Amino acid sequence: MTPKIFISRIVPDPGLALIKEHFPPFDGAQGVDLWTADLPPTRAELIERSRGVDGLLCLLTDKVDGELMDAIGPQLKVISSMSVGVDHIDIPAATARGIPVGNTPGVLTDATADQTFALLLAAARRLAEGERYLRAGKWVTWSPSLLLGADLVGATLGIVGFGRIGQAVAKRAQGFDLRVIYHDPTSKPAYNAQPVDLDTLLRESDFVSIHVPLNSETKHLVNAEFLAKMKPSAVLVNAARGGILDQNALYHALKSKQIFAAALDVTDPEPLPMDSPLLELENCLIVPHLGSASKKTRDMMSLLAAQNLVAGLKGERLPNCFNPQVYG
Ligand code: NAP
Ligand code: GLV
């Protein structure tokens, strides 16, 4: 019998093609139900449309908790997210119900590390501020002191969370002659990076880049105390999750020039409300969660999410399962 599937947004073709190949046709109530609106389903719509499905393919914009899993029903065989981060999914709730959760690690590592480096350079060299300055018609002459930024060569980059993306950022840092130090629960010899405790990292770093997952331990890891330990000349980059950062504390640290600048790929909430005080600051660069936003990367994420979904529906082990405990 064709399984029932809900896909909570139009994902790139490679993933949809794989699902079609395994479970034709795409005809709504029977088989695959695809949410085609640009905006994500509301909570009520998500519950309504996924009720009774065997497989859910979701995005990081969908909150998947125990209540939703129960509303879907006991036949739910797999939850597959087109993301590496799974902080939007209640993993213990899925595990308790024996539901494997798939995610998409690895395929987005390089794109996210590229984006991190783009943010780091842009904040260091005040690119967004410079462009606003130019568009406002303020560029009247070359000046020896106009919009001076920070140098990379010989500076220290501190990476908090030295996993796949953290290490890919360290790889890129080698080309810029940065010294790299990192803080992570496990020592990982890669790219001449040196493990240090968090206080040492904050004291010595000219650039601090955050690459930990969001969980109860890392929620507001970057708070007033963390920021107070950074150098006044330091740049903070967050391309992990908005919830890791206390935005109110960041606002005060940037406003008072306690740190030089920040560049954020992610915020809390998303989208960032237009009345956020962070948007008043020239030294805060913010982009709308674009870490993995390259065509090839999103194709690969879609394919991997579909592979996880298909495997789960066929009763096979997911190629990338975040809670392998479900397999005993
Ligand atoms: P990963 O390979 O699991 O790396 C995370 C690293 O952080 C691991 O080495 C982990 O150590 C470490 N860690 C966990 N808690 C820590 C703590 N309190 N202090 C220091 N280190 C800690 O994951 P990844 O693939 O690099 O992705 C990292 C995160 O980036 C994702 O969870 C996601 O939220 C975010 N992300 C954002 C975008 C974007 O578009 N902006 C794109 C992709 C990913 P253990 O393994 O020992 O726990
Ligand atoms: C993006 O933020 C992801 O977790 O894949």
Q: Whose CA is nearest to atom 12 of ligand 1?
A: 161
Binning pLDDT at 50, 70 and 90, where does residue 28 land? low
Q: Which two tokens stand for residue 139?
A: 């560029």
Which of 58, 62, 89, 108 to mutate to test ligand 2, by most ligand atoms within 8 A of the CB atom?
108
Q: According to the model, what pLDDT value does residue 249 have?
A: 99
Specify whether the CB–CB gap between 284 and 264 falls below 8 A: yes
Which ligand neighbours the alpha carbon of 302 most closely?
Answer: 2
120-144 pLDDT per residue, tens: 999 999 999 999 999 999 999 999 9
In this model, does residue 23 exceed pLDDT 70?
Answer: yes
In this model, does residue 257 exceed pLDDT 90?
Answer: yes
Sheet of 179-183: strand order equals: 194-195, 179-183, 156-160, 207-210, 235-238, 261-264, 284-286
The third-level CATH classification (topology) of the domain covering 109-286 is Rossmann fold (3.40.50)
Q: Where are the domains of the chain?
A: 5-107+295-327, 109-286
pTM of the model: 0.97
Q: Whose CA is nearest to atom 4 of ligand 2?
A: 85
Q: Whose CA is nearest to atom 15 of ligand 1?
A: 212
CATH of domain 5-107+295-327: 3.40.50.720
- Partner residues linked to 57 by β-bridges: 7, 80
Least Cα distance to 120 among 199, 211, 200 occurs for 211
Which ligand neighbours the alpha carbon of 159 most closely?
Answer: 1
CB atoms within 10 A of CB 293: 15
Binning pLDDT at 50, 70 and 90, where does residue 59 land? very high
Which ligand 2 atom minimizes the distance to the CA of 82?
A: 5
173-200 pLDDT per residue, tens: 999 999 999 999 999 999 999 999 999 9
Binning pLDDT at 50, 70 and 90, where does residue 2 land? confident
301-328 pLDDT per residue, tens: 999 999 999 999 999 999 999 999 999 8
Say how many Å lie between the CA of residue 92 and the centre of ligand 1.
18
Residues with CB under 6 A from ligand 1: 84-85, 105, 108-109, 112, 160-166, 183-186, 211-214, 217-218, 239-241, 265-266, 289, 291-292
The reply to whether 109-286 shares the fold of 5-107+295-327 is yes
Say how many Å lie between the CA of residue 211 and the centre of ligand 1.
5
Q: Whose CA is nearest to atom 36 of ligand 1?
A: 240
Matching residue, tokens 């240090």: 196
Please state, rounded to an integer, the average pLDDT across all residues of the chain.
97
In this model, does residue 88 exceed pLDDT 80?
Answer: yes
Q: According to the model, what pLDDT value does residue 29 have?
A: 52
In this model, does residue 215 exceed pLDDT 90?
Answer: yes
